[in-house]
């Protein structure tokens, strides 16, 4: 755990902690950094065969690819990203149809071109949406903006609990099953808004993985993008990677530790991440598309480990909405390992998770 400090329940690296290690492969530089990207904290520990300058260059390259991913592809907030472009076109067509006096703006579907990369991302998401009976639904952009819980939790907006009518109206523009994905085209009802927040950090870890694999001088790494983590390669001493799981109710503590060897993707979804308490009610950022309100499945934290960042992230959100039994079954169906924690602390886990997880005392 050398070089780490705990901040806000997350494992963070002490800024700029540097350690020189020697092994049979020659000099390996351990370099740690903490920065922000994609609206969250990014902590990196890289083991680089080379000197400190090379390690710094690799760290900066990882940050750059995350920023590019957010700005060019995934962010609905940043004008010019692919998701923002899809949402803007959808809004524009809905507006035109309303002006022309069509009864329902969403009457006919509209077509938007998408890159092959975005198409692949969406196809994987749609598979999880379908397998989870819609517990994961990235077409709920209108609903997530209505609640605005990200901004509320950050203190940049006041909570205003939407009325049932407002929730119903937002849900009318939601529904993954109303979308067609085909060769380079997305067919969607005008007015629908995408929010890839449930998978973005997992996709980011996939991109980091691809980058690390392309750099032979990187021997090992742990990179955390908010609640999504990639472990890669190995440490010079061969010991396993340790990934701490935040305690959902005790700030600054952790629930347990995962011991992982080699390349894995870990995602945690929790009701403690972005939330606000009003009159004893916890309004958190994981919404149940069936009801339009923050999910009440009895769970407060779900961690998924598998060999894809996108899937780990998509499944952690979907399992959270589904609850302990159905959530566990969904993870098993994907061959993923999962830890699902109920509000009273009861933990459910897959067999493989039992082998990698050690609960904190
Ligand atoms: P995560 O922290 O990965 O579980 O993702 C939560 C984020 O995904 C929220 O901040 C919303 O932007 C979005 N979101 C919330 N509920 C859902 C859902 N049921 N399906 C898809 N996206 C969701
Ligand atoms: Mg997720």
pLDDT at 3: 32
What string of DSSP letters covers 235-300?
A: -TT-PPEEEEEE-SSSTT-EEEEEEE-SSEEEEEEETTSSEEEETTEEEES-EETTTTEE--SSEE
- Bridge partners (DSSP) of residue 21 are 28
CA distance 110 to 272: 37
3-state secondary structure of 197: helix
Length of the chain measured in residues? 361
- Least Cα distance to 202 among 121, 139, 257, 112 occurs for 121
Question: CA triplet 245, 250, 252: central angle to 5 degrees?
Answer: 65
Contact 194, 139 (CB under 8 A): yes
**pLDDT value at residue 106:** 55
Distance of CA 320 from the midpoint of ligand 2 (Å)? 9
Cα–Cα distance measured from residue 169 to residue 177, given in angstroms and rounded to the nearest whole number: 17
- Ligand at minimal distance from the CA of 309 is 2
Its pTM stands at: 0.92
> Rounded to the nearest whole angstrom, what is the distance from the C-alpha of residue 155 to the centroid of ligand 2?
22
Measured in Å, residue 274 CA sits from the centre of ligand 2 at: 13
195 alpha carbon to ligand 2 midpoint, in Å?
12
Question: Ligand 2 centre and the CA of 201: distance in Å?
Answer: 8
Q: 127, 195, 246, 301: which to mutate for ligand 1, most atoms within 8 A of CB?
A: 195
Q: Which helix (H) or strand (E) holds 65?
A: helix 52-68
Give the closest residue (by CA) to ligand 1 atom 15: 286
Residue 232 to residue 173: CA distance in whole angstroms: 40
Query: Whole-angstrom distance between the N-terminal and C-terminal Cα of the chain?
Result: 17
Mean pLDDT split into 10-residue runs, the chain, 361 residues: 33 39 66 96 97 96 98 95 98 91 70 97 98 98 94 85 97 97 95 98 98 98 98 96 96 96 98 91 96 97 98 98 98 98 97 97 80
Asked if residues 327 and 128 have their Cβ atoms less than 8 Å apart, the reply is no
The binding-site residues of ligand 1, defined as CB within 6 angstroms of any ligand atom, are 136-138, 140, 144, 150, 195, 197-198, 227, 269, 273, 285-287, 289, 313, 316-317, 321
Q: Which ligand is nearest to the CA of 316?
A: 2
Cα–Cα distance for residue pair 77/84, rounded to 1 Å: 7
**Atom of ligand 1 at shortest range from CA of 274:** 10
Of the candidates 355, 351, 323, 314, the one whose C-alpha atom is nearest the C-alpha of residue 335 is: 351
CB proximity list for 20: less than 8 A, separation 6 or greater: 27, 29, 30
Cα(18) to ligand 1 centroid in Å equals 35
Q: Closest ligand 1 atom to the C-alpha of 267? A: 3
What is residue 101's predicted lDDT score, i.e. its pLDDT? Answer: 76
Query: Using H for helix, E for strand and C for coil, what is the string for 303-347?
Result: EEEECCHHHHHHHHHHHHHHCHHHHHHHHHHCCCEEEEEECCCCE
């Amino acid at each position: 755990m050398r070089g780490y400090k705990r901040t806000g329940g997350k494992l963070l690296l002490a800024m700029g902690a540097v350690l020189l290690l020697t092994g049979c492969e020659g000099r390996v530089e351990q370099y740690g950094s903490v920065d922000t990207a994609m609206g969250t904290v990014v902590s990196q520990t890289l083991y680089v065969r080379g000197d400190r300058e090379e390690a710094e260059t690799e760290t900066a390259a990882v940050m750059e690819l995350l920023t590019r991913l957010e700005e060019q592809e995934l962010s609905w907030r940043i004008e010019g990203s692919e998701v923002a472009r899809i949402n803007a076109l959808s809004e524009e067509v809905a507006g035109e149809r309303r002006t022309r006096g069509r009864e329902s703006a969403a009457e006919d579907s509209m077509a938007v071109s998408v890159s092959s990369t975005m198409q692949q991302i969406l196809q994987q998401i749609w598979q999880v949406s379908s397998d989870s009976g819609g517990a994961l639904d990235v077409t709920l952009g209108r609903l997530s903006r209505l609640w605005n819980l990200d901004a509320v939790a950050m203190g940049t907006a006041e909570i205003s609990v939407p009325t049932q009518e407002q929730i119903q109206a937002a849900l009318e523009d939601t529904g993954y099953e109303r979308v067609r994905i085909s060769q380079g085209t997305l067919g969607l009802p005008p007015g629908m808004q995408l929010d890839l927040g449930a998978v973005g950090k997992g996709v980011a870890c996939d991109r980091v993985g691809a980058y690390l694999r392309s750099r032979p001088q990187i021997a090992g790494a742990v990179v955390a993008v908010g609640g999504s983590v990639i472990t890669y390669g190995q440490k010079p001493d061969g010991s396993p990677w340790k990934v701490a799981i935040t305690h959902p109710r005790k700030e600054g503590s952790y629930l347990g530790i995962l011991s992982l060897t080699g390349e894995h993707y870990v995602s945690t979804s929790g009701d403690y991440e972005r939330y606000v308490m009003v009159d004893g009610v916890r309004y958190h950022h994981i919404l149940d598309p069936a009801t339009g309100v923050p999910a009440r499945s009895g769970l407060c934290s779900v961690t998924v480990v598998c060999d894809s960042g996108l899937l780990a992230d998509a499944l952690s959100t979907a399992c959270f909405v589904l609850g302990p039994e159905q959530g566990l079954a969904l993870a098993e169906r994907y061959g993923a390992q999962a830890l699902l924690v109920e509000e009273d602390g009861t933990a459910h886990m897959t067999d493989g998770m039992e082998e990698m997880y050690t609960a904190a005392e």
